[in-house]
């Protein structure tokens, strides 16, 4: 599945500059500029506002970038699931924990978990709740342990 065009738009948004994005992507600046012009023509709207300060996503650009994020995440998850089904990858679970109680909870959980599920590799990522919530939404962690008061949106499922 070729999603390089979505990655190009994301790089432009993250770098705020065609020159920097092109360098990051291993492309020439004119090639990336041509791609952006073609993409904007196809969409029928500019994706970025151009100024002396660089490129800033327009409202349409933000919609496109959010869709690109989701497409990139879905591709990664799909390939991950395919590898698991093909037995090319051991199962793994990434737990998000807070700095204060995270190490304590993880250490007690780790021993029990590895005894019950020896074929699943358990690892943890530590951070504050705001960061962990974003990591969960981005698919960088599989679940997190934290205070329910930090969840203000209805899109979360409590276990």
Can you give the pLDDT at residue 142? 87
The structural domains of the chain, with segments of one domain joined by +, span: 4-80, 90-150
Topology, domain 4-80:
Arc Repressor Mutant, subunit A (1.10.10)
Q: How far apart are CA 123 and CA 90, in angstroms?
A: 13
Can you give the pLDDT at residue 6? 93
Query: Mean pLDDT, consecutive 10-residue segments, the chain of 159 residues?
Result: 88 95 92 94 96 95 95 90 68 82 75 78 84 86 73 55
CATH superfamily, with its number, for domain 90-150: Periplasmic binding protein-like II (3.40.190.10)
Can you give the pLDDT at residue 63? 96
């Amino acid at each position: 599945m070729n999603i390089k065009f979505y990655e190009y738009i994301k790089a432009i948004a993250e770098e705020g500059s065609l020159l920097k994005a092109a360098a990051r992507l291993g492309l020439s600046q004119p090639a990336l500029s041509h791609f952006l012009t073609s993409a904007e023509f196809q969409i029928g709207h500019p994706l970025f506002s151009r100024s002396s300060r660089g490129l800033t996503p327009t409202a349409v650009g933000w919609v496109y970038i959010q869709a690109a994020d989701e497409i990139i995440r879905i591709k990664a998850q799909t390939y991950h699931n395919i590898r698991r089904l093909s037995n090319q990858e051991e199962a793994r679970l990434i737990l998000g924990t807070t700095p204060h109680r995270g190490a304590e909870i993880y250490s007690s959980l780790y021993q029990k978990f590895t005894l019950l599920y020896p074929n699943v590799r358990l690892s943890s990522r530590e951070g504050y709740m705001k960061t962990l919530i974003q990591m969960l939404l981005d698919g960088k962690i599989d679940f997190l342990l934290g205070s329910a008061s930090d969840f203000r949106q209805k899109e979360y499922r409590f276990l």
